[in-house]
Amino acid sequence: MLSDVAFGQYYPVSSPVHRLDPRTKIVILIAYIVMIFLIKNFVGFVLAGAFLLATIIIAKVPIGSVIKSVKAILFIIIITFIINLFLHKEEGAKVLFDVWLLNKITDKSIKYALFMALRLSFLVFGSSLLTLTTTPVSLTDGIESLLTPLKWIRFPVHELALIMSIALRFIPTLMEETDRIISAQKARGADFETGNFLKKAKALLPVLIPLVISAFRRAEELGDAMDARCYNGSKNRTKYKKLTFKFRDFISVFITAAVFTAVIFANIYLGGIV
């Protein structure tokens, strides 16, 4: 069911990664994403994968919880792989399969398609690890602190950080709500498993309508609760916890920079994937 989707959930455990400053984790994630887009060969993915695996182990987060996060975009990853498999063209490639009415599949197109699928998967793994090791409140404080310079141009920094935090917080809640609605519809005789694509899509209508209504109801209740507590945005607000950089934060940034540098050297000396 949908309740095992890991993205947006927080895994409560005491670990060095959990104790990092949220600003440090956000900056490391941004650097990690940039690194993933700069990777040009599979050696770079080995380095990025080793860095990610070491972080998961240090964070004491079950590897299965991180892998589950791919379920949300598994369809997108498959479609991306297929599109690049048939549409990627390059001179000098060895033809492996000649599919009728479709483009030829070459050795380089397979490498490129696998490369893009790995890139998407690693992006989701890193983003999921951030939400698994950081509470929504800490994420809000970290994003707001990093975007503080934008306040000089009167950008609603606090409101933007709050919106992102609430969105992350309600992902697992909406997943659980969807799971309950599907179970209730199955108890009434609804069939979500058999039939073609159109039939399955039509069967989801009794799920989407109550889910949307429930989401609007939760948003209205949240707004009423904030009004009842006299919430007025970032004006004259103080913070219970002050964010401070510690030695472990600088060590984490240094390690990330070292891996980033290793990926750059791998690109320079080993070249591209094809």
Q: What is the pLDDT of residue 164?
A: 79
For residue range 34-86, list pLDDT tens digits in order.
999 899 888 889 999 999 999 999 999 988 888 887 877 888 888 888 888 87
Confidence of residue 108 (pLDDT cuts 50, 70, 90): confident
Is residue 7 over pLDDT 60? Answer: no
Task: Check residue 17 and give its pLDDT.
Answer: 93
Confidence of residue 256 (pLDDT cuts 50, 70, 90): very high
Q: How far is CA 225 from the centre of its chain?
A: 29
Nearest to 29 by CA among 51, 2, 46, 10: 51
pLDDT score of 26 more than 50: yes
**C-alpha angle 87-90-96 in degrees, rounded to nearest 5:** 75
Taking only the tens place, the pLDDT of each residue in 179-231 is 888 888 888 877 777 767 677 777 777 888 888 888 888 888 888 988 888 77
Q: What is the pTM of this model?
A: 0.78
The reported pLDDT for the residue numbered 1 is: 46
- In single-letter form, the type of residue at position 155 comes to F
pLDDT tier, 28 (very low <50, low <70, confident <90, very high otherwise): very high
* pLDDT score for 5: 54
- The answer to whether residue 91 scores a pLDDT higher than 50 is yes
* Overall average pLDDT of the 257-268 stretch: 92
Average pLDDT for the chain:
82
User: Which pLDDT score is estimated for 25?
Assistant: 95
pLDDT (0 to 100) of residue 219 = 86
More confident residue, 178 or 237: 178
Cα dist. 207→25, 133, 190, 193 in Å? Answer: 36, 31, 10, 14
Domain definitions of the chain by residue range: 2-178+245-270
**Predicted confidence (pLDDT) at residue 102 exceeds the cutoff of 80:** no
Mean pLDDT of 249-270: 92
Q: H helices within 39-106, ranges in order?
A: 42-59, 63-68, 74-87
